[in-house]
Every structure is written in C-alpha cells, then in structure tokens.
Amino acid sequence: MATTIRCARATDVPDVLALWRESGAEPTHTDDAESLLRLIRHDPEALVVAEVDDHVVGSVIAAWDGWRGSVYRLVVSPGHRREGLGRRLVEAAETRLVDAGALRLQAIVVETDPRATGFWRATGWEQQVGRLRFVTG
C-alpha cells in the first residue's frame, strides 16, 4: 500500500474529522467542518493529509502566520501507527513551513497524552520550558 502525502482538499474534511474522532485525538471546539473549510480557504497548504487507498489515515496542520510556523493536530489512524507516517507528516509540515519562510517552528502537543509527548520527544525537537501558553476562544 503506497502512502501519499498531500495538501487536503475541501472534500477531505469529513474524513479528517472522522480520523480525529477515531484516533482519540483530544477534541476542541474547532473540530468541525466549518473551521477546517475556513482553514483550507485561508491557507490551502496548511492542512496536510496522508492517504492510503483513497482513505485519509493521517493529518497535520502546518500553519504559517508570517512570523512563526506552528505544527499541530498531528494524528495517525490507529491501524497505521508505528509505520513512520507521523514522521513523514512532520517532515512535510517542516518543509511546507520552511518553504513559506518560517525560521522557527513550534509544535503544540497535548501534554497529558503519553503517545503524543513520546513521539515528539523522539523526533529531535526540543521541549521548551519556562513558557506558558495562554489562549482565548
């Protein structure tokens, strides 16, 4: 089975949302079709998917705000984990962001998810300490 890594299309949105639910990704209030379609309209390259046999089996968001690149919502289907797909998605996100001009990248990771934190610690990315993140909305 060949895996294709590509930018998501609007038609992928239902499959991406299903992937997030299936994988046990921590839900947020922006996990809806409207939010993902807005992301794709705003930045058609931000949502990257992995596809096997026309099925979305992985995703990552690589957002560029003109200042810093942010990587989040890295999700791989349970049936496709431990195949290097997460790393391939991160590499695609890094390439997309560096090509856009990002000099610094950050990954937003759910601290209480041992699979997620274990994955990121194994990537060579450095865990930043001494910073708090504040959000609204």
Domains in the chain (CATH in brackets) are 3-121 (3.40.630.30)
At 41, the amino acid letter reads: R
Q: Look at the alpha carbons of 6, 25, 106, 69 in this order and tell me if their dihedral is positive or negative.
A: positive
Q: Per the structure block, which two tokens stand in for 137?
A: 């909305």
Which pLDDT score, from 0 to 100, does residue 133 have? 80
Which pLDDT score, from 0 to 100, does residue 48 have? 98
DSSP alpha helix (H) spans, the chain: 13-23, 33-42, 85-100, 114-121
pTM over 0.85: yes
Which pLDDT score, from 0 to 100, does residue 103 have? 92
Which pLDDT score, from 0 to 100, does residue 86 have? 95
d(CA 137, CA 135) in angstroms, rounded, equals: 7
Least Cα distance to 88 among 79, 96, 98 occurs for: 96
Which pLDDT score, from 0 to 100, does residue 21 have? 93
Residues of the chain with pLDDT under 70: none
Which pLDDT score, from 0 to 100, does residue 72 have? 92
